[in-house]
Amino acid sequence: MLQTDSERLPKGLVHAAAGIESIEKNYVIQKSDILDIKLYSNKGESLIDVNIPKPGAVVGTNAGGAVSQNPNFVVESDGIVRLPQVGAIKVEGYTLRQADSLLSVAYNNYYVDPFVNVKFANKRVIVLGATRNAVVPLTNEKMNLLEVLALSGGINDNAKAGNIRLVRGDLKDPEVHLINLSTIEGMTKANLIVQPNDIIYIEPVKRPLREIASDIAPILSIIGSVVSLVSIVLVLRNQK
């Protein structure tokens, strides 16, 4: 899985030291994103339930279209999120910090010194391979590769720390970063910021003898059962 010829790197395969600038960037809000929005007044002193609007205000909805019990709101196909009181706000293309400022200004007409905190509720990466397979939510902006690996269970004795691949983009023509965590230099270069929908593959250590034993164990079990059955039949015949 995801193996490549070491003599000829395929198109899109780069080492972690290259392309870091393209990876280290803030997540931006996109269509269909789910936003966790919390509203405070008095510069963050008092938490306000953004889902309980004042009479006559626009009601926010969650992913199912119902009134949300949690402060989660969907970015619609036109890049707009619809919020109580302030209505439709264009947020597509903004970073979380920019969205905080934008919504704080919008709520300034309703509250004294409003403070808004926006987080993603649906950003995640997938970890496959030698460690337990996991879907890791990106709860914080600029989570790096090492944090994601730690959250997925870390690298155990069955994993090749020197051959970790970060797959990004369209799987028909992905960009693959080859990462080596077996050296201090490699760990320094691998302090990469992951992006939503990245796939991280950790190559397992191959143990041929263990794999062969595992493959032939069912066959040996069947042979043992047959031998036992034949032995019982022969014993019964000799007793007659």
Domain of residue 159, CATH code: 3.10.560.10
Residues 6+ apart with CB under 8 A from 26: 95, 96, 97, 141, 142
217 is a domain residue = no
- Rounded-to-10 torsion of CA 182, 175, 140, 204: -40
- Residues 142-154 have a mean pLDDT of 84
DSSP 1-68: -----TTSPPTTEEETTSSHHHHS---B--TT-EEEEEEEEGGGTEEE-TTSPPTTPPPPB-TTSSBP
> Are both 38 and 113 inside the same structural domain?
yes
Give the pLDDT band (50/70/90) at residue 18.
very low
| 116 and 128 housed in the same domain | no
What is the band of 75 on the pLDDT scale with cuts at 50, 70, 90?
A: very high
Residue 71 burial class via C-beta count within 10 angstroms: exposed 0-12, middle 13-18, buried 19 and up: buried
Amino acid (1-letter code) at residue 176: V
Confidence band, pLDDT 50/70/90 cuts, at residue 9 = very low
Would you say residue 63 lies in a domain?
A: yes
Q: Are residues 140 and 188 in the same domain?
A: yes
CATH of the domain at 112: 3.30.1950.10
Q: Is the pLDDT of residue 2 over 70?
A: no
**Percentage of the chain exceeding pLDDT 70:** 72
User: Chain-centre distance of CA 192, in angstroms?
Assistant: 14
Using alpha carbons, select from 74, 55, 53 the residue that is nearest to residue 63.
Answer: 74
Whether 211 maps to a domain, the answer reads no
* Average pLDDT rounded to a whole number, residues 225-229: 77
Residue 1, domain member (yes or no): no
* Residue 47, amino acid: L
Instruction: Answer whether residue 98 is part of any domain.
Output: yes
Q: Answer for the pair 112, 78: CB distance below 8 angstroms, yes or no.
A: no
Q: How confident is the model at residue 62 (pLDDT cuts 50, 70, 90)?
A: very low
Residues 114 and 158 in one domain: no
Residue 150 within any structural domain of the chain = yes
pLDDT band with cut points at 50, 70 and 90 for residue 21: very low
Using CA atoms, how far residue 19 sits from 3, 24, 173, in Å, is 21, 9, 17
Confidence band, pLDDT 50/70/90 cuts, at residue 66: very low
Asked which of 71, 87, 120 is the last residue of a domain, the reply is: 120
Q: Sign of dihedral through CA atoms 179, 182, 187, 191?
A: positive
**How far is residue 28's CA from residue 139's CA, in Å, rounded to a whole number?**
14
Q: pLDDT tens digits, residue range 178-207?
A: 888 887 777 776 677 888 889 998 888 776
Residues 185 and 134 in one domain: yes
Per the domain annotation, does 224 fall within a domain? no
Instruction: Assess whether 57 and 164 both reside in one domain.
Output: no
Total count of domains within the chain: 2
pLDDT tens for each residue of 83-118: 988 999 999 999 889 999 999 999 998 888 899 999
Q: Which of 67, 101, 120 is the last residue of a domain?
A: 120
Last residue of a domain, one of 120, 155, 170: 120
Are 38 and 114 in the same domain?
Answer: yes
Residues 133 and 19 in one domain: yes
Pair (136, 66) in one structural domain: no
Residues 115 and 133 in one domain: no
Q: What domain range includes position 186? A: 13-25+123-204
Q: Would you say residue 231 lies in a domain? A: no
Which residue pairs, CB below 8 angstroms and at least 24 apart, start in 115-118?
A: 115/39, 115/40, 115/41, 115/43, 115/44, 116/37, 116/38, 116/39, 116/40, 117/37, 117/38, 117/40, 118/35, 118/36, 118/37, 118/38
Mean pLDDT of 57-73: 48
Same domain, 134 and 116: no
The answer to whether residues 75 and 96 belong to one domain is: yes
